[in-house]
Amino acid sequence: MTDRNRLIYLPLGGAGEIGMNCYVYGYGPADQERLIVVDLGVAFPDMDGQPGVDLILPDVAWLEARRDRIEAIFITHAHEDHVGAVGHLWGRLRAPVHCRPFTALHAIRKMEEAGHSTDHVKTAPVWPGKVEAGPFTVQFAPVSHSIPEASALVIDTPAGRIVHSGDFKIDRDPVVGEPFDPELWAQIGQDGVLGYVCDSTNVFTRTPGRSESQLPAPIGELVAGAKGMVVATTFASNIARLKTLAEAAVANGRSVCLMGRAMKRMVTAGEESGVLRGFPRTLSPEEASEVPRENLMLIVTGSQGERRAASAALSRGSYLGLEMKEGDMFLFSSKTIPGNEVAVARIKNALAEKGVDVIDDSHGFYHVSGHANRPDLEAMHDILRPRILIPNHGEYRHLREHAQLALSKGMTGIVAANGSMVELSGNAPRIVEFIEVSKTYLDGAAFVGALDGVIRDRMKLALNGLVAVALIVDEDDVLLEDSWVALRGLPETAGNGADLAEMIEDELAEAMPRFDGKTVNDDDRLEEAVRRVVRNLCLTEIGKKPEVTVLISRLMAA
């Protein structure tokens, strides 16, 4: 440890995965740095990896232990993977939360839901306005993305300027919100950028990015050709897209109905914050059900196949009095996020069964990405000409590819996955420490560590099924021959048609009298002995070794 001040960067989430963004910057003497946090996002669980979990949050144990050193939290934009954990984690960090007005509406709601005072959310000015936070001066520089008021952070420190890209694309005509401003970015870069921490999502996409403004024409044509009801889905937060869809409806004599809580909330937030103007008047579902179907467009949630969203509900049957029929059209104005393919296909197939024409973006007409493709990443590198490029917002392969790209262009590219603390100051920027970071699962109301074993145990139950066995050891330490067995997630009968639970009880009745006293008197030994009998029998009878839970009731002399 020295007294020398250093500038550090530490990703706690979002580097090595897409989602759950949380980054830390620090400045000061080693282990005494003053800290700022950029983004507190969530990731979404799936049956495959986190069954039953409600949300995945970054593991902020490192930050919590240094809470007194946190100057502020900055949120780049209102997507859930950037703002979603603010309510759940604020109580452990307790620093002011700075964000622009549209984002603030979301952060405030999350603080309210978690029972925290909304006073901690501070509305930040846009560039050239400044937020001072200890040794950091932070400016919100507008970028285009797929949500209003997305921002990069220009972070000035005594060691130099850092640009944290946030999620961004280069869009000169984003339909809603601020277009890409080359002069602004030239200005940000002109005095030298020490480090550029940069979105890597689309680093493998070699074609130039496309503008949101390329969509109104093809979507308008599509709607013009539709005969029955039109239903369109996209991310609710993509307010520009909602506008494009709604305007295509109105231009073709259709009224618009928004379905799904997030849809209405986003349009309201857009109007309240002033970023959205002139959105067509919308109908309630009750009103919509009175409108002839050829004069109606529903804009609905659930573009990723979420089971409880409006899209899925409409694919299964009627929803709030509205039902899709032969000759209607359903438009996915969206990309399917990897992992959601099967859920989305389920909806497409259910709609096809109803005779609905399903249109998706497989031909590239009805959706554009919100992230910069490789040529646009290169354009930003060329404008900012940072000394160091640190890729973030990507899986490991994206980070590596982006760092290699930086190297090939003469920058120092550093692959820093979650937990890698990078020192940016000094002559040789490099990883100086690895912090153990896990993930935190929100499971009902409980926080469960990803490595606690709780979820692994659930997966074992799902893979193997469970045999629960109750045994009684009487007052004289005698193990009763009778056991009680219940099966969960296992076939009731063995191959020969016999009742499996009874077979297990019989097998135990035969085996248990042979257990010695040492086994009977020790819970662990007895459990293990019973488990072995049950698993072996099941392997023989159903070809599978189940999980076994043994409940031993030891009766006490009265």
Q: Least distance from C-beta 48 to a copy of itself, angstroms?
A: 4
Strand order in the sheet with 420-423: 121-123, 97-99, 70-74, 34-38, 22-29, 5-13, 420-423, 430-434
Closer to a copy of itself by Cβ: residue 181 or 443: 443
Beta carbon of residue 546, minimum distance to a copy of itself (angstroms, whole number): 9
* Cα gap 459→462, rounded to integer Å: 5
Q: List Cβ neighbours of 524 (8 Å cut-off, separation of 6 or more).
A: none
Q: Are 515 and 526 in contact (CB under 8 A)?
A: yes
Nearest to a copy of itself of 85, 242 (CB atom): 85
- Residue among 82 and 354 whose Cβ is closer to a copy of itself: 354
CB 33 within 8 A of CB 6: yes
- DSSP line for 237-277: T-HHHHHHHHHHHHHTT-EEEEESHHHHHHHHHHHHTTS--
71 neighbors 136 (Cβ within 8 angstroms): yes
Residue 277: partners with Cβ closer than 8 Å, 6 or more residues away: 271
Query: Minimum Å distance from CB 458 to a copy of itself?
Result: 3
Q: For a copy of itself, which is the closer residue by CB, 30 or 461?
A: 461
Q: For the CB of residue 55, give the shortest distance to a copy of itself in the complex, in Å.
A: 12
The least distance separating a copy of itself from the CB of residue 120, rounded to whole angstroms, comes to: 22
Cα(331)–Cα(231) distance, rounded to whole angstroms? 6
Q: Which is nearer to a copy of itself, 65 or 463 (CB)?
A: 463
Nearer to a copy of itself, 31 or 46 (CB): 46
Q: Which is nearer to a copy of itself, 119 or 326 (CB)?
A: 326
- The values of phi and psi at residue 511, to 5°, are -80, -35
* Residue 151 CA neighbour count, 13 Å, CB half: 29
d(CA 381, CA 379): 5
Q: How far is the CB of 54 from a copy of itself (least distance, A)?
A: 9
Provide the CB-side half-sphere exposure for 39 (13 A, CA).
33
* CB-CB contact of 399 with 410 (8 Å): no
| Nearest CB to a copy of itself, comparing residues 181 and 481 | 481
CA distance 409 to 93: 38
Q: Which is nearer to a copy of itself, 443 or 499 (CB)?
A: 443
* Least gap, CB of 362 to a copy of itself (angstroms): 7
User: Cβ neighbours of residue 432 under 8 Å, at least 6 residues apart?
Assistant: 8, 421, 422, 423
Contacts with 75 (C-beta within 8 Å, 6 or more apart), sequence order: 38, 39, 40, 82, 83, 86, 97, 98, 99, 103, 107
- Nearest distance from residue 226's CB to a copy of itself, in Å? 16
CB of 33 to a copy of itself, least distance (A): 27
- Evaluate the CA torsion angle 266, 267, 272, 277 in order and state its sign: positive
Q: Which is nearer to a copy of itself, 65 or 539 (CB)?
A: 539
Contact (CB, 8 A) for 32 and 8: no
Return left, alpha or beta for 192; rule: phi > 0 is left, psi -120 to 50 is alpha, else beta.
Answer: left
For a copy of itself, the closer of residues 6 and 371 by Cβ is 371
Per-residue burial over 368-386, b = 16 or more CB atoms within 10 Å of its CB, e = otherwise: bebbbbbebbebbbebbeb
To the nearest whole angstrom, how small is the minimum distance from the Cβ of residue 430 to a copy of itself? 17
Structure tokens that stand for 420 in this block: 């890698």
Minimal distance in Å, beta carbon 216 to a copy of itself?
A: 24
DSSP string, 13-54: ESEEBSS--EEEEEEEETT--EEEEE----B---TTTSTT--
Shortest Cβ 49–a copy of itself spacing (Å): 8
Nearer to a copy of itself, 186 or 539 (CB): 539
